[in-house]
Amino acid sequence: RLGKVDIDSTSFTSQELKKALAKMKESEKAERKAHEEEVRKKFRPIEQLKEEFEKLNVKMETDYEIMVKLISKFNSSASTLDEKVAALYDLEYYVHQVDNAKDFLSMGGLQLVIHGLNSTEATLKEHAAFVLGAALSSNPKVQIEAIEGGALQKLLVILATEQPLAVKKKALFALSSMLRHFPYAQQQFLKLGGLQVLRSLFRQKGMGTLHVRVVTLLYDLIMEKMLLEDSQHGEHLEEKLQQYRQVKLVPAVVEQDWCVVVSNLLAMPEHDSREKVLKLVGVLMAFCRERYRGDQALSTTLSLLRSEYEELAAEEQRDGDKDGYFRELLGSVNTIIQEL
């Protein structure tokens, strides 16, 4: 029986086991070889890739190195307008990061961009303001350098003069980034007549999107001070609160009759725009109540909004959405009506 497998027996000779094991190993080896062949077909060897990269002289650049090249391209007199705009477009991506924005500052890029706000080319002004706004966002060091570099005055000039809407949008974005959480800049903004400049935008046609952004900015600036006053603050925050107390934003808003300017925006058709306006009207209520009580147009608008949102909220509820968007807006409208 040597060399023959006894299928009726539960035991195998050592030779039979060796043969079976050898067959298994051969099968595994064949499968592994087939898999390796399949992988080789799909991917090139690492050595080949290395050779190709070396031939192309490709190396990974750091963000710092890339920004140096972009700044150089933007600042070069040999660059075309399109190349300068492309450099600014790419810079905006990099300076969003706080560390990159600080490097951008140390390279002298910030001052170049601020100077770009004076350009006679609208598209350069637009993209320079875009880069500036990105670098300023949540970056106190850049905010300080920008205001000392005259950026605030230049942005207000853009907003106060005749410019394409795209340029004004980016200038307002940069202005908002400069003012948020920076009471010193807010104080300078008021001294330079910044509120009057923003108010002038409401006398211009086709500026609807800008109007809503101004409303959002005013709401944020008023709320950041109120939230700080309501918080439990230590020595550091107490110092910041003292800075905020020197910013007389709300008195200036009331004095320049922003109460009515803002409430008139409730007639806008977009729900998102109304939501932002309702928030600001709610915050201003404590200071504008008497003015609002004598405003028949506001009373009519609020009644119409309540009817509209009652219907939309009921529809939401029928669809199973008990805490829906329109129910929230209805709550805001009702709160204002009750306050009045």
Mean pLDDT, rounded, for 69-85 = 97
Q: How far apart are CA 84 and CA 213, in angstroms?
A: 28
Does 104 reside within a domain? yes
Mean pLDDT value across the chain: 89
Whether residue 10 is predicted with pLDDT greater than 90 in this model: the reply is: no
Domain range spanning residue 96? Answer: 61-206
User: Could you give the number of structural domains in the chain?
Assistant: 1
Residue 1 three-state SS: coil
pLDDT band at 44 (very low <50, low <70, confident <90, very high): low
pLDDT in tens, 131-177: 999 999 989 999 999 999 999 999 999 999 999 999 999 999 999 99
pTM: 0.80
Task: Supply the CATH number for residue 163's domain.
Answer: 1.25.10.10
Q: Can you state the angle between helices 98-106 and 140-148, rounded to 10 degrees?
A: 30
Is 133 inside any structural domain?
A: yes
* Angle, alpha carbons 68-61-139 (nearest 5°): 55
In a domain, 21, yes or no: no
Within a domain: 124: yes
The answer to the question of residue 320 being in a domain is: no
Instruction: Report the number of secondary-structure helices (H) and strands (E) in the chain.
Output: 19, 0
Residue 298 domain flag: no
Q: Is 214 exposed, middle or buried (0-12, 13-18, 19+ CB in 10 A)?
A: buried
pLDDT tens-digit series, residues 191-245: 999 999 999 999 888 888 999 999 999 999 999 999 888 876 566 678 888 889 9
Does 84 map to a domain? Answer: yes
Higher pLDDT: 189 or 208? It is 189
- Give the pLDDT of residue 21: 66
pLDDT on residue 232: 63
DSSP string covering 102-163: HHHHHTTHHHHHHHHTT-S-HHHHHHHHHHHHHHHTT-HHHHHHHHHTTHHHHHHHHHHS--
Residue 296, in any domain of the structure: no
